[in-house]
Amino acid sequence: MRRMFNRPTPKWWGGRGHILFTIVVFVTLASLDNAALATIPSMVLPITEALNTSEAAIGFLTGTVIFVTALSAVGWGYWGDRSDRKRLLFWGTVVWAAGAGLSSTANYFWQLFLWQTVTAIGLGVIASVGFSVVSDFVAPRRRGLAMSFWGLSQGIGGIVGGLLASQLGADDFSLALLVIAVLGAATAVLYLFTYDPPRGLREPALAEVHEEGLGYEYRIEPEQIPALFERRTNLWLIIQGLSAQVAYGSLIWVPLLYQEKVLAVGYDSATATKVGGIFAAIFQLGGLFSIVAGHIGDRVQRRTLRGRAIVSAVGILGAIPFFLMFFFIPLRGLDVTNGAGTATLVPEVLRNLVTNPWAAGAFLTALLAVAFTGADSPNWFALISDVNLPEHRGTIFGLANFSNGVGRAAGNGLTGAVAGAIERAIPPPLNWAVGLSIFQVFFLPTGYCYYRAAGTSPGDIQEVRDILSQRAAEAAGTTNGR
């Protein structure tokens, strides 16, 4: 009998309804994970005023949080591939929720830095162990579509976190952090009742193994780690993440870019924080296209095992010109109520998107840019699953996520530094537009890496399928021989 934290489980445990509940909780956790990461960058102005620090210091803080999250994900992922994933996810969530709650009590920058580092350590578990569990719920045939929802939940979390922080934290940054902490703690309690699927649950080659209750008992061993890098597709997926996330990491400063644009047309700091946050949230709606992109990736992949990599390459490269236009479009003629609350500002911002051609142009170019990059996330998630064995997915995702984190932290930190240096010659908000534009060049090597992955992935996918089929046959033979 399966046990949940050493207690007998009820009959409905592992049924269809229970699995659906588990997926909903996982999606919520992934959303909150990214919401927590998005809070600080969306409250730069109020935090610098409250803690008497600089924008550069906040940039260093957010870069550190991203880096520590990625680094901890490596350890969490390896640990999860060897042990009980459910326990790790529960305690990791408790750690980041506690860190966020303690961050809300900070009176000095060093205190905020310390507690945000604790938060980052806990956040790493969702990235790697969470991915490993979710991949076991998804069959390869629909993996791109399913992973689009996993990725989309993270994007929505970032939007919600940024919006929540910019609105609740405009006058008091601690309130937004406290709300995120409470939501994280509440979700941790729900996670106690989720289902931890057997590894490889939806792999076609292992279907009979799981139906007969034989189980899949393979776990990663330390000596297997070097072999992960012998799969060429893994290398290309890790390298592309390093370059892509430099560009993605720079985009964390988009809320500040638009806050500066609102300041430039004469509004006060609190109004600029709120309006800039609302614009930044609306501009990310193109992320919904990732559902379509994941479905396209699945369909192309069924025709050729090169499909997912090709779709991702086209999406990444196609986004560049639209991002460049988006950064430089000004907010001339902006008409909102200075000093108003969120309930008043949201409809006013939406009206500007229709009546103000500058705001409409920014929205359209942002929509297209984010829509194109929406092809990246679901197909990258699916490829990581496709080319690795079930007991290796948490570890390789942790390693890939570390590469992503290094790139994202660099993009985050360097964008702030570059924009600060440019400000000596070019005043805000144009300095931020120039700084963000510079970092879009990193999408170019990302497209090349996907091109190379398109050449290596067919062989790696087939090798994984062959190994799983062989193990299934061995399990069946062992059972018949008893």
Q: Where are the domains of the chain?
A: 15-203+227-467
Q: How far apart are CA 194 and CA 183, in angstroms?
A: 17
DSSP letter assigned to residue 385 = H
How confident is the model over 150-161, as a mean pLDDT? Answer: 80
Beta-carbon neighbour count of residue 222 at 10 Å?
8
pLDDT at residue 58, as a whole number: 85
pLDDT band at 2 (very low <50, low <70, confident <90, very high): very low
pLDDT at residue 479, as a whole number: 53
pLDDT, tens digit, 9 for 90 and up, residues 107-154: 999 999 999 999 999 988 877 887 888 888 888 888 888 888 887 887
Residue 86 has pLDDT above 90, yes or no: no
**Would you say 372 and 322 are in contact if contact means Cβ atoms under 8 Å apart?**
yes
Q: How far apart are CA 136 and CA 466, in angstroms?
A: 18
Query: Who's near 340: CB < 8 A, 6+ residues apart?
Result: 271, 348
pLDDT at residue 3, as a whole number: 38
Residue 311 has pLDDT above 60, yes or no: yes
Please state which CATH class domain 15-203+227-467 belongs to.
Answer: mainly alpha
Residue 318 has pLDDT above 80, yes or no: yes
Give me 454's structure tokens: 């398109």
Least confident of 47-56, 158-167, 274-283, 344-353: 158-167
Residue carrying structure tokens 């799983």: 468
Mean pLDDT computed over every residue of the chain: 87
pTM over cut 0.85: no
Q: How far apart are CA 173 and CA 220, in angstroms?
A: 42
Output the 3-class SS for 109-124. Answer: HHHHHHHHHHHHHHHH
What are the CA-CA distances from residue 383 to residues 66, 125, 240, 301, 391 (Å)? 23, 20, 13, 10, 15
